[in-house]
Amino acid sequence: MAMRGLTVFIADIRNCRVRELEEKRINKEMANIRTKFKDGSLSGYDKKKYVCKLLYMYILGWDIDFGHMEAVNLISSPKYSEKQIGYLGITLLMHENSDLVRLVVNSIRKDLDDNNEIHNCLALHAIANIGGREMAESLASDVHRLLVSPNSKSFVKKKAALTMLRLFRKHPDVIPAPDWAERITNIIDDYDLGVCLSVTSLVTALAQQYPEAFMLAIPKAIMRLHKVIVERDFSADYVYYKIPIPWLQVKLLRLLQYFPPTEDPNMSEMLHNVLQTIINNSQETPRNVQHNNAQNAILFEAINLAIHLDCESDIVRQATNILARFILSKETNVRYLGLETMAHLAAVTDELDEIKKHEETIILSLRDKDISVRRRGLDLLYSMCDVSNAKTIVSELIRYLHIADYALREEMVLKIAIMTEKYATEHSWYVDVILQLISSAGDHVGEEVWYRVVQIVTNHENLQEYSAKMVLHYMRSPHCHENMLKVGGYILGEYGHLIANLPGASPIEQFNTLHARFGLCSLATRALLLSTYIKFINLFPEIKGAILAVFNQYRHVLDAELQQRACEYMAIATMPTDDLLQTVCEEMPQFPERESALLSRLNEKTGQTEDKRTWNIGGKDSNEKTPANLLAAKERNENGSVDDLANSVSNTSISAAGGENGAAAPANGSPAPPTPAAPTAKTGLTWKDQLAPGYENWYNRLRDGADGILYEDSILQIGIKSEYHGHLGRLAIYFGNKTHTQLNSFAVSVESPEGLVVANSHTLATSIGPSTQIQQLYSLECQQIVTEVPLIRISYQAGSTQSIYLKLPVLMSRFIEPIQLSSADFFARWKQIGGAPREVQEIIKVPGRIELERARTILVNHRLGICENVDPKPGNFVATGVFNTSLSGKVGCLLRLEPNHESNMYRLTVRTTSDVVSKHLKEILHTALLSKPAPSTR
């Protein structure tokens, strides 16, 4: 039903010819609405009408400071028209930090729980538009429920996915993405392609933050692409100019670039068929512009994926020929994408010959009428540069630098400097190019460029004389830039004596050349030149008088920095002896080798979009830390670092300590390995706060070395068996289904602390039949000192998705090998290790009476060798062992356990060659001695 009052009000506003009349009408209407709201007896229709008027005023730009509560009240109305205006009101009048947001949370949750899909959608719109932290924390789980519910309609799922995406981008820490990964990823298989499209956008964003949790998306994305592109299985509603749902194809191809190539041969073959089909479909150029745009969008993303998977493949070779055609296209967009994709290929491949064939065309793109095409041409030249073509590319870029856009010049200077340094075959060429660069584009040369020149010249003795000669030449130019003076001041101050005998480079001529521009420089440059002058006094005493006159003049300037330098340098230069002067002005030592600051500066200038880049501009070394490469490296490390235990178990006979540094030493007296470094700081395991209730009862039974049941409830029983040798271990975990129905979507994942590698031996079955059992084998490798135990997550479908989080009893003591020492050897090594911090001691009062046999069992279970008849007092325990790591060496462990039967106390003293191991081993034994004996769970 039309609201006549609103229509009349809008007509009145439109009829106002001047702002004063409009303001008068607005104020009159506001006063009327305030009066109506104060009465409190308005119907839902009237509230809706007046809120609409307020919203119209707000859209016109007037401030609205009342009516918010009426909009909130309309949300609770059962009528759709009133609820709709209420939601429109809060999304326009409220922001994420508004105090009234918490008032609408319960109403929004009620609409999310409603069976009316329209109400669900209105609530989702409000969440996405306001999107505050409080709303995200309160309602994220409700949005997720709507997304994964099999009862939700397709259009609700689409809105829920996009709302979740909005919340994640706004507050990523609020969304427990790893826990929801499996169910969200499964929706990619949804029959509705619109739902699949929305969820793919969500998964793409989540996978960039949590790539390991969303590895399940790889096969699902490949199968969906295969259905759409190869099998032609899609709804006619989603065909856009003869192309089936191009937006989904592009997003799925993009998603796969965030993961390393799949190792499943079936998936690899399907993906190859998909990419080959796309390449084949692009051989003919459609006449229709929209058809052509859609086809090219898919083609370019497919080429990027093919390059990501294998830049030497046959598909990439075919794509290279297509790209060569595109960079000559008359269409600006096609040229742009062709150059960008070719830059991607140049950035990751070792074979640049095919790209170099088009070098002239690429150089011509620098003069394209569109600046975005010029940028991509610059990126491609930078990526394809190597030793063979560096001089050509650099000379062309310097020639173009004089006419380049100001927006491009700083980036061009950085790239020229990096290419010159990286691919210079002659030191003189490097110096010539950099000085020419500073001379011709000084305003765009950042501090990083001339800093780098100074570092390289200082570190290469054969460059110093040539650099001093050339920089003096450039400083005599009538248009010498201030950055050139900075370089000249440093180089001449250090190496000016190398050219002092050359014509035109005498000491006084060097000084006059610098000082001629002294008054025109900034204060920072003047300060640098004063330092150069004091070095001149040390190098060239014959010009001391001229320089002292400068120091004397600048002792009285207003700038504190210049005044201080002049006074101090004057004092040093006029001392009776030159000892201090020579000490202060000693030649600069070489700079330590480090990564060029130019690369960091260039990376800062590379704009980052909402999605992370899947590749970086530059050579192959610039792409070693892309998201997919980092994930692949991590997988290789986890899967390849643990060898077959049967072949790698070695006998160790390592004693506790030896040598001056107290490092662990073999019993035969051979040199001691270095003491392992303490593990680096880590934020901690993310599942710590989600452990299953009551897990401690089961975990404590197995903590001291026994095998048995780790967890049991009415559905699942989990048991473990283990064995350890040196720094390696093997863990078998058994999962038993206690019910008479099958458990589906069964998945297990392990989160290990830093320094401990946990690798599974095979892919676990995804279901457990009724009353049956499956097992998973894990190989363990202790690489560094580990102070935390790994956590395991078990999830399965039993009506709804169930998740169980548990601790695995893989303590640091599992990697100790027991050894035996004589009394003399034990106390000799005990003294060598010394006291704190490598010694820790604690008095432990046990509940109940002391049981010596139980104490002995605890030490043995923690893999410590008990040395008999070592301690002079009978009843005291002496134990030794060696803690093993694969990367940080071995740690000798010695301990004494002294019982006091009268007071029911133990005195535990632990000495090891690592203070971290001492502290943690003491905590492990302290907990074990205080615990009550547990019944067997075998």
User: Residue 778 annotated as binding?
Assistant: no
The pair of three-digit structure tokens given for residue 740, joined into one six-digit string: 């008479």
Chain mean position to CA 191: 34
Contact of 791 with 806, CB cutoff 8 Å: yes
Q: Per-residue DSSP letters for 760-810?
A: ESSPPPS-B-TT-EEEEEEEEEE-S---S--EEEEEEEESEEEEEEEE---
Tell me if 640 is assigned to a ligand binding site: no
* 52 carries a ligand binding annotation: yes
Rounded Cα–Cα distance for residues 786 and 920 (Å) = 9
Alpha-carbon span 386 to 60, nearest angstrom: 59
Whole-angstrom distance, CA of residue 107 vs CA of residue 76: 6
Helix (H, G, I), strand (E, B) or coil at 649: coil
Are 255 and 211 within 8 A, CB to CB? no
Encoded amino acid at 410, one letter: E
Residue in 268, 239, 244 with CA at minimum distance from that of residue 256: 268
Asked whether residue 28 is marked as a ligand-binding residue, the answer is no
Separation CA 523–CA 543 (nearest Å): 24
Which residue from 184, 125, 174 is spatially nearest to 149, judged by alpha carbons? 184
Could you give phi then psi for residue 656, rounded to 5 degrees?
Answer: -75, -50
For helices 217-225 and 265-281, what crossing angle results, to 10°?
A: 40
Is 356 annotated as belonging to a binding site? no
Residues shown for the chain: 938
Flag whether 51 is marked binding: yes
Residue 153's alpha-carbon distances to 144, 145, 146, 929, in angstroms, are: 14, 12, 9, 58
Instruction: Please confirm whether the linkage preceding 790 is cis (ω < 30° from 0).
Output: no
Cβ contact 727:815 at 8 Å:
yes
Q: Which residues contact 634 (CB under 8 A, 6 or more apart)?
A: 212
- Is the C-alpha dihedral spanning 520, 526, 528, 530 positive or negative? positive
Cβ atoms within 10 Å of 556's Cβ, excluding its own: 9
* Token pair in block for residue 166: 């909005």
Q: What is the distance of C-alpha 687 from the center of its chain?
A: 19
Nearest-angstrom CA–CA distance, 566 and 531: 9
Is 45 annotated as a binding-site member?
Answer: yes
Using alpha carbons only, give the angle 42, 47, 49 rounded to the nearest 5 degrees.
Answer: 125
Strands (E), 357-406: none
Residue 49 marked ligand-binding = yes
DSSP state of 226: I
Q: How far apart are CA 35 and CA 44, in angstroms?
A: 16
Q: Is 79 marked as a binding-site residue?
A: no
- CB–CB of 100/115 below 8 Å? no
> Of all helices (H) and strands (E), which one includes residue 339?
helix 332-348
Confirm if 362 and 377 have CB atoms less than 8 A apart.
yes
Residue 836 buriedness (CB in 10 A; 0-12 / 13-18 / 19+): exposed
Residue bearing tokens 């084949």: 280
Please give the Cα distance from 526 to 492 (Å, whole number): 15
Contact 221, 257 (CB under 8 A): no
- Interatomic CA distance for residues 480 and 483, integer angstroms: 8
Nearest to 305 by CA among 290, 294, 319, 288: 319
The residue among 413, 332, 424, 411 whose CA lies nearest residue 385 is 424
What stretches of 540-609 show up as alpha helix (H) in DSSP? 544-554, 560-573, 579-584, 597-605
Residues that constitute the known binding site: 4-5, 36, 45, 49-53
